[in-house]
Chain A
Amino acid sequence: MIPVSVRFFGRRALQLVIVVLGIAITNFFLLRLAPGDAAQVLAGEAGSATPEYLAALRKQFGLDQPLPVQFALYLRNLLSLNLGFSFRQGLPVLELIAQRLPATLLLMGTSITFALLVGSAMGVAAARRAGRATDTVISSIALLFYATPVFWTGIMLIVVFSVWLDWLPVGGMTSIERGYTGLAYLKDVAAHLVIPATTLGLFFLAVYTRLMRAAMIDVQQQDFVRTAVAKGLRPGRIAYRHVVRNALLPVLTMLGVQVGAVLGGAVLVETVFSWPGLGRLAFEALFQRDLNLLLGILLCSSVVVVLANAAIDFLYTVLDPRIELS
């Protein structure tokens, strides 16, 4: 008899392969529907071109091959875990993704952690005083952040904290050519991280606040909470030990969705803050019709989505023992 967890992971691994392959094949044909190709974009940017130049570029990019041949090549590369080559960037796709991934992980990790912690806390506070002034204030603030366009928040924070107060740098991830190492380097990156992470975090925050508030109010009306009250437990203990733990499930689901979007989710913030992340790379690759690169990023994103969902399913069972791996 194979243990449940082994069967769970085995089946999930198989699912992952099928889902990811399906996504990759769909993407390959979907992206080719976009008008124009990489050679036209390059020649367009150059402001001048000759047919010979275009032909040379298409040959270099492999765009002169018929579509079935390109697809066969792509599949062969994919099955040998080779993501291909970005001719526009002059680097292998995997290397490009590896270069940009840490910056994106740092930005998204910080902002989601910030949003999760602060948002949940605000949600708990609002739920415990539901219907009163505190609740109204917190809900309004959350809604305001959610409704404000991310780029506008970003620009305003730059204008206030970088240009007027001169506390923080305008953009980028590090100070160039300062040769910082160790602690000084970390401090430098942290200073660059504050505004972009806050901007993105404020947007996510509202979702957690509202989810947490709704879930708390819902759980508060359950029978076991009434039992706990009847037992004479202190309100604080009921709220944190009984209600919050059970209210975390929908929040966790949301977290899974957002972690899945990590790789491509921060295009706007990365653009406004010149943050050298993957979202910007994907966005630019789309406009440049750099399909190899775009396919590579989308493939990695799909892997992360599938893995994140599996991890969340597993976490459910930890939070709520009634849920079983099946």
Chain B
Amino acid sequence: MKLFRAISFQTSLVARLSVLLAAVAVLPATPACAADGPKRGGTLTAIVQPEPVTLTPAFNTATPTQIVAGNIFDGLVYYDPALKPQPSLATEWKVAEDGLTISFNLRKGVKWHDGKPFSSADVKWSLENVWKTIHPRNKAIFENVATVDTPDDNTIILHLSKPSLPILSVLNAVGAPILPKHLYEGTDILNNAYNNKPVGTGAFVFKEWKKGEYILLERNPDYWEPAKPYLDKVIFRIIPDAAARAAAIEKGEVQYATFNPVSFREVERLAKLPSLKVDTRGYDWLSPVLYLDFNVENQYLKDVRVRQAIAFALDKEALGKVVWYGYGKPAVSPVPTALTAFHDASVPKYPFDLKKAEALLDEAGFRRGPDGVRFTLHHDFLPYGDDYKRTGEYLKQALKRVGIEINIRAQDTAAFIKRVYADRDFDISSSYNGAFPDPQIGVVREYWSGWLGSKTPWTNGSGYRNAEVDGLIQAAAVEGNPKKRTEDFNRFQQIVQRDLPTLPLLELRFFTLHSSALKDVVLQADQSYGSLKNAWFDQAPAQN
């Protein structure tokens, strides 16, 4: 009975034969035999939450925008599970020995969704008008690109005044988005109408955005990679309530949801259902790290011994297991372990040790008062949900044991950002940042003193100033020798883990929930932001 139903789903004769053959070959050793290759068709319903502000990643690096845009746009490359760049719109690339020239060969015959040909002029225009100017993350990385040559439509050569090695770590669709020059040239990019009805070269074409409800993408029939994508349509639904998201996923109305779509408690339950799979891969390109910022201007926290005492007083193992339900691994350095080339495991460490914490606090001169309290601090947690609030509650309990009283303050995002980064009216704040494959992209911004006074969110929150650290950061930015660069970053890690203006707590493991019928869904280190062009349905979902 099952076999007949399977056959009736097939359309081509070849496919019918292959299914029959598979059935005849009864019980093959692995379920993924050749006859079970990707199947075409089906509509995938995914979740994007919160609703994106824009669908163009050129000037907005928020997660929702990138989740959708990664399907509409292609990058020059994508990143394989080892974080190595792999060909996408660029087929080959070469970095000169001195790091001052980077050349790319571009794929031929690629078309924008409106039918116009894609060429090196689009890349050059995007680099000069987007990556070097308004892209919030790339400005520093591309600022040393002096000139860009396009000898022909399929070649682009970057000439740099100083080397900039992190360039090769940001060249995917959302890291260095390529916009169609013919639709953007000469316009006000921030207000261009195509920002909300994007035209890309990617596997899926933008079709409709019904605000507050869904974003609809359709298969790009002219996609450059033969046979891909396999899905006919991708719908990104906006479901604001976490319990409703869990219900929609459990029921099968939604088959793909990234970035912790439901609470940890729910995922424990949903993971046991045979119809669902939980996957923590596909986030390595982001490599999120949870940390505490200590306001180093605070009368207690300005003493490095107090900061170190707090580090000793926190049981990061327990924090990861209990508060984060195992979706977090203790961090030893601000550069997470996924960045194998840069992570330094020999930095000063702070294992859970209450005695040492108490001793350091006594040594700093903050003895326990008659009520057992040494001093009181305020903690502002990142207002991104209960997980950060619980982290704050853990902090309060843990520090009480060594005589530090913590008052937890709650506020919304706008107030939090103003308090920490503009008014600097806080003692300890929690936050997370993406390290990205190169520390220069995501990590050093927390420590470089050049950000101080600029009131820019997610920069140096602690107020830390160290000339040597600043020097190392600036040297590494323009260092062309990878080995020398790694040494700079190792020295950087040693110093900041000794001074501890910021305490890395956990390497967070975000999770994706998807239907077990959805195959080949996580193939890249940047999959959570990447295209669903490889994904296919073993069995099409019942449409909701």
Contacts and interface: CB of A to CB of B under 8 A. Distances in A.
Given A53-B136, A155-B243, A170-B244, A177 B233 contact: yes
A42 interface: yes
Nearest to A60: B190
B214 A176 contact: yes
A290 to B, nearest CB: 10
A163 B250 CA distance: 7
A56 B251 contact: no
Given A162-B247, A176-B237, A274-B240, A88 B53 contact: yes
A268 B139 CA distance: 41
Contacts of A53: 59, 134, 136
A46 B136 contact: yes
A99 interface: yes
Interface in B453-510: 454-459
Contact of B54 (A41, A90, A284): A90
Interface string B191-220: 100011000000000000011111010000
B450 to A, nearest CB: 11
A62 interface: no
Nearest to A173: B213
Interface stretch (A12-20, A32-40, A127-135, A309-317): A32-40
Interface in A50-86: 50-54, 56-57, 60
B412 A43 contact: no
Interface stretch (B17-25, B223-231, B415-423): B415-423
Contact of B458 (A41, A49, A96, A177): A49
A287 interface: yes
Contacts of B96: none
Interface residues on A, range: 35 or more
Interface stretch (B60-68, B76-84, B121-129, B399-407): B60-68
B454 A45 contact: no
B95 interface: no
Contact of B239 (A41, A56, A274, A287): A274
B187 interface: no
A46 B213 CA distance: 22
Interface in B125-181: 133-134, 136-137, 139-140
B60 A46 contact: yes
A166 interface: yes
A175 interface: yes
A217 B51 CA distance: 50
A145 interface: no
Nearest to A283: B240
A238 interface: no
A45 B139 contact: no
25 contacts: A40-B414, A41-B417, A44-B416, A44-B417, A48-B442, A48-B458, A49-B136, A57-B190, A88-B53, A90-B191, A90-B196, A91-B211, A151-B241, A158-B247, A162-B251, A163-B247, A169-B253, A170-B253, A172-B237, A176-B45, A177-B43, A271-B240, A272-B243, A274-B213, A287-B414
